Amino acid sequence: MRIRKLNHSVYQVQYHLVWGTKYRRKYLKHYVRTELIKSLYQTQRRHPDIYIHNINTGDDHVHMQIEIPPTHSIPAVIRDMKSNSSTHLRKRFSFITRIYQDSGIWSTGYFISTIGLNEANIQKYINNQNTDDRGRDVTSEFS
């Protein structure tokens, strides 16, 4: 983890962020993932002090390793990312618009945890998303 500096403070904070599609619908196929990731990086460009380390998805959820400085509200950053990506994907893919019509495409909640000494394990976990891990015990990855 790198140490970041603001005008009057120094910080080292990373988060593991996860959110799912509404009703856990499995529409995040490879061609949708590409546009989703593009959209998330566009949101990052609007907030240059936020840094996305890693993004990966399953068919129905998103995993992200992200640095959010203490000057930003975490819920506001997540709301912005989910809102902008929802708008982008609905414009880009008509089948998503048909599924959700006038509502957002993401579930209302999210999971977030800080990343400390287990950064390598979390990076490995995020990188292994969307691989066929059915029937495999993944609890050892967090030991």
Tokens of 103: 């509502």
Q: What is the pLDDT of residues 21-59, one digit of tens each?
A: 999 999 999 999 999 999 999 999 999 889 999 999 999
> Mind listing the domains of the chain with CATH numbers?
4-127 (3.30.70.1290)
Q: What is the pLDDT of residues 96-133, one digit of tens each?
A: 888 877 778 999 999 999 987 677 888 888 888 877 55
Q: What is the pLDDT of residues 69-101, one digit of tens each?
A: 999 999 999 999 999 999 999 999 999 888 877
Give the chain's mean pLDDT.
Answer: 87
Amino acid at 42: Q
Q: Confidence class of residue 11 from pLDDT cuts 50, 70 and 90?
A: confident
Give Cβ neighbours of residue 126 (< 8 Å, ≥ 6 apart).
16, 54, 55, 56, 63, 64, 65
